[in-house]
Amino acid sequence: MMKGSEENLHFLAIIWMAVFVFLRGCNCDLSYSVPEEMKRGTVFGNIAKDLGLAVKTLSDRKARIDMESEDRRFCDLQRGELVIAERIDREELCGSKPSCSLNYELVLENPLESHRITLQIEDINDHSPRFPKSEIKLEIGESAIKGARFPLDEAHDSDVGRNGIQTYSLEKNEYFTLSLNSHSNGRKYCELVLDKELDREVQQEVILSLTASDGGSPQRSGTAVIRVIVLDANDNLPIFSETVYEVSLPENSPLSTVVVTVSATDADEGANGEITYKFSHISDKAIRMFSIDEVTGQITVIGPIDYEDQNEYELWVKAKDGAGLASNAKVDIEITDVNDNAPVIYIKSLNVPIPENVAPGTEIGIINVQDKDTGGNKQIRCSIQQNVPFKLNPSIKNYYTLVTTSDLDRELVGDYNVTIIATDEGSPPLSSSKTIHLSVSDVNDNPPVFELQSYSAYVTENNKLYSSVCSVTARDPDWRQNGTVFYSLLPSEVNGVPVSSYVSINGDTGVIHAVRAFDYEQFRSFKVQVVARDNGSPPLSSNVTVSVFITDENDNSPQILYPTPEGNSFMTEMVPKAALSGSLVSKVIAVDADSGQNAWLSYQIVKSTDPGLFAIGLHSGEIRAQRDISESDSMKQNLVISVKDNGQPSLSTTCAVYLLISDNLAEVPELKDMSYEESNSKLTSYLIIALVSVSTFFLTFIILIVAIRICHRRKPRLLFDGAVAIPSAYLPPNYADVDGTGTLRSAYNYDAYMTTGSRTSDFKFVTSYNDNTLPSGTTLKRSPGDNSDCLNFTSLDFPENGSKCSTLVNHLNIC
Ligand SMILES: *[C@@H]1O[C@H](CO)[C@@H](O)[C@H](O)[C@H]1NC(C)=O
Ligand SMILES: *[C@@H]1O[C@H](CO)[C@@H](O)[C@H](O)[C@H]1NC(C)=O
Ligand SMILES: *[C@@H]1O[C@H](CO)[C@@H](O)[C@H](O)[C@H]1NC(C)=O
């Protein structure tokens, strides 16, 4: 097809050339037209024919073609015909000139003849339209409005005329249309017209193909790609990925912990899409807890997060793009509890001290426990140690009562340290403890208890006044006054006399003092009840018996009952002349009011007329002949016997024994009666003694009274001022067995205090007296026969004031 049409073209051209030549006729100018790009050797004109000359003629006349200026020859003359000698490119020869021709000179010789040959070069469509660049780049802002025009580069086609660019076409698209226009010189150009607004965020670039077509046949076209880059306009807000971010954060999260990363996107580009994050609305507290990274949107912890302080935060975050468009999102941070608070124990009330007599189950305190955490972290178990008589009873929510579980005894345990431990149920659990000091207060529940069940005290007679007899101690474990013990004597009587006149007790120390001197010979023991009483209210007391035993002292010298004291001529013993060695001649009978060793008497002959004739039994007092009496022995034998007791120191008495060695009473008529009836004579002698004693006593008494009267007149208040009170102490008789020779009534020792009205003088009458009563007043009676007794008036030392009556110290021995 193609080849056929090319031949056709050839043929048409030849026709056209022939016509051209013909029209010129013999005009000597020849003109030919030839398309460009013909093959070499192509014949395009017949000169011979056009000039009407034979081919032979032409060669003969050396016809040749000269080119006017050019070196290059594009055609040749061969056998009268013009042929293409070289490729002709119209565009090279003439560019874009609309017509293009080459001029030659046909020269003939013989005759010289010249013809002008014009070779018209025809254009063929051998070039396609071409755009300067294969890609046309356009940058169009997305804000460009509809109808905006954007000129496009022109395409170029070297061909001319119809073969030049005739039209442009644009690939079909939704955004642009093409507008074709012509320059004044006829050249076509085109513009892109925005038909629909661009959105960079939808499509960042639009690629179109633009085609330029020429009008040749066949038509040629060239294509360029239009790349429309949609430029961003800040037409988009940043958009957060979530409008509300809900996160939970454990409390105590360390600093720099990432809470959440908010992120917003901005469809815009560049600065318009560059987002910075900031807190837009945040509480003063939250601003100290959280910070946000402006670039990444990462929210981190910068402060101590405490659930108990605040358990949720609401932050507003603003995301702003470079051009200032912003949007907000909310971040809700819920703080989750961590068991970071130990329970706290509050002692709400405490009734201390606890009286020791409270009943088990008594409430003594209220305890409250609290934990700031929540949930299980807030659940608290409370306990106290086991070994105390208290327990915790759960009461209303978080309250416990502390109650006693058993009886308390302050005397056993006076105070308790109770440790309350509160543990929560967190994991790990936290606990705290508190120690409370519970003191038990005293109740007077213990009576004083004496250290001993009973006390025995031994006091030597003739003790000093206020000398201590013994000391009792009672203990009371109670507190202070409830345990303070006072001692007192239980009122009672000993031999009819109040016990207080014998002893007194120091109420504080329990030391018992004698308030009088005791006489063993009067009584040997008595009992005192001591009461120990505490100072409680009501007081408790207990009592104890103190047995006071008076021990003997050798204060009585032996008393000789037989023979009667010295100087008495009645007591002469008859010794038969025929008395043999060993025979009993007499016996000294003595007694001692003391007892024991103090009353153990021993007899000794200290002086005798004829030593060796008589001996005395050391303890029996029996006087025996040591050898047979002989005629040569003196009739009168005197012995001085010493009777000594065994006390320390020992006391002794002496007596004389008169012995008459004779068989005949007549030799000693004055002793006749007695020798027969010893007891009778003894009685008689007693009677005589009594008589003498009474009269002596009476006389003495008269003298005494006179003396007192005189004394009284001088110092009226000194001795027997008014009524002399002699306490009528009743004392039982004291008996002493001496040597088994019979029961002998010993003297009574009698102590009495006499207080004169002047309160200064205490007199003690120490008297041996065998009467049961000591008469008051001035009369002192004696029974007859008490010839051996002595009445001693001895002034004692004055414990309080001995000076005033020191002049009255009397020592009266009245025997
Ligand atoms: C109780 O605690 C106090 C002080 O710590 C201490 O002095 C006291 O002896 C304790 N009492 C008991 C019964 O443990
Ligand atoms: C002594 O006991 C009584 C109850 O018997 C009590 O009221 C008082 O407080 C106690 N005194 C002291 C000092 O403990
Ligand atoms: C002395 O104690 C006994 C038993 O301890 C008691 O029976 C008696 O009543 C008490 N006597 C006095 C006077 O308190």
User: Which pLDDT belongs to residue 793?
Assistant: 36
- What gap in Å lies between CA 508 and CA 524, rounded to an integer? 28
Nearest in space to 486 (alpha carbons), one of 508, 503, 465 = 508
Q: Ligand 2 centre from 406 Cα, in Å?
A: 20
Q: Which of 140-149, 393-402, 673-682 has the lowest mean pLDDT?
A: 673-682
Tens-digit pLDDT profile for residues 533-586: 999 989 999 999 999 999 888 888 998 888 876 555 556 778 888 888 888 988
| Pocket test residue of 387, 390, 415, 438 for ligand 1, highest count of atoms within 8 A of CB | 415
Q: Which residues contact 250 (CB under 8 A, 6 or more apart)?
A: 305, 335, 336, 338
Given a cut of 60, whether residue 203 has pLDDT beyond it is yes
Sheet-wide strand order for 149-151: 149-151, 188-194, 176-182
The DSSP line for 749-791 is EE--EEE-TTS--EEEEEEEE--S---STT-----TT-TT--E
For residues 62-89, average pLDDT: 81
Strands (E) in 325-447, as ranges, are 326-336, 344-350, 354-355, 363-370, 380-384, 390-394, 399-404, 415-424, 431-441
| Mean pLDDT lowest among 14-18, 326-330, 395-399, 500-504 | 14-18
User: Could you tell me which residues come within 8 angstroms of residue 362 by beta carbon, excluding any fewer than 6 positions away?
Assistant: 354, 403, 404
pLDDT at 8: 60
Centre of ligand 1 to C-alpha 247, Å, is 51
Name the band, by pLDDT with cuts 50, 70 and 90, for residue 676: very low
C-alpha 589/C-alpha 668 separation (Å) is 24
Q: Which residues have a Cβ under 8 Å from the Cβ of 630 and sit 6 or more positions away?
A: none
Assess whether the C-beta atom of 187 lies below 6 angstroms from ligand 2. no
Q: Which span out of 2-6, 116-120, 294-298, 747-751 was modeled with the highest average pLDDT?
A: 294-298
pLDDT-derived band at 440 (thresholds 50, 70, 90) equals very high
Question: With a 6 A CB cut-off, is 415 part of the ligand 1 pocket?
Answer: yes
Q: Whose CA is nearest to atom 2 of ligand 3?
A: 543
Q: For a substitution probing ligand 2, which of 358, 415, 482 has the most ligand atoms within 8 Å of its CB?
A: 482
- Ligand that lies nearest to the alpha carbon of residue 437, given by its number in the listed order: 1
Out of 358, 409, 443, mutate this one to test ligand 2's pocket (max ligand atoms within 8 Å of CB): namely: 443
Strand partners, 548: 457, 526
Determine the atom of ligand 1 nearest the C-alpha atom of 437: 1
Q: What pLDDT, in 10s, does the model give residues 442-454? A: 999 999 999 999 9
pLDDT digits (tens, 9 = 90+) for 626-675: 988 888 888 888 889 999 999 888 999 988 888 888 887 666 545 444 44
- Among residues of the chain, what percentage have pLDDT more than 90? 34
Listed residue (354, 381, 386) closest to 367, CA to CA: 381
Tell me the ligand closest to 441's alpha carbon: 2
Q: Which pLDDT score is estimated for 76?
A: 84
Distance CA 241, CA 105 (A): 88
Burial classification of residue 15, based on how many CB atoms lie within 10 Å of its CB (0-12 exposed, 13-18 middle, 19 or more buried):
exposed
Q: pLDDT tens for residues 425-439?
A: 988 899 999 999 999
Ligand 1 neighbourhood includes 417 CB (under 6 angstroms):
yes
Give the closest residue (by CA) to ligand 2 atom 2.
443
Q: How far is the CA of 505 from the centre of ligand 3 (A)?
A: 18
Q: Mind listing the pLDDT tens digit for each residue in 600-616?
A: 999 999 998 888 889 99
Q: What is the pLDDT of residue 788?
A: 37
pLDDT-based confidence at residue 708 (cuts at 50, 70, 90): confident
pLDDT in tens, 307-350: 888 889 999 999 998 888 899 999 999 999 988 889 999 999 99
Res 795 pLDDT > 50: no
Separation of 531 CA from ligand 3 center, angstroms? 9
DSSP assigned state of 429: -
Measure the CA–CA gap between 542 and 530, rounded to whole angstroms.
8
Atom of ligand 3 nearest to the CA of 541: 14
What distance in Å separates the CA atoms of residue 211 and residue 198, rounded to the nearest whole number?
23
Mean pLDDT along residues 18-29 = 49
Ligand 1 atom nearest to 413, measured from its CA: 13
Pocket test for ligand 3, best of 453, 543, 545 (most atoms within 8 A of CB): 543
* Residue 774 contacts residue 791 (beta carbons within 8 Å): no
Does 114 sit in the ligand 1 pocket, CB within 6 Å?
Answer: no
Residue with more model confidence, 252 or 25: 252
Percentage of the chain beyond pLDDT 70 is 80
Q: Does position 737 have pLDDT exceeding 70, yes or no?
A: no
Which tokens in the block code for residue 313? 């935060």
Ligand 3 pocket, residue 543 CB under 6 Å: yes
Q: Report DSSP state, residue 143.
A: T
Answer yes or no: are the C-beta atoms of 548 and 503 closer than 8 Å: yes
Side by side, the strands of the sheet bearing 622-625 are 584-587, 622-625, 614-616
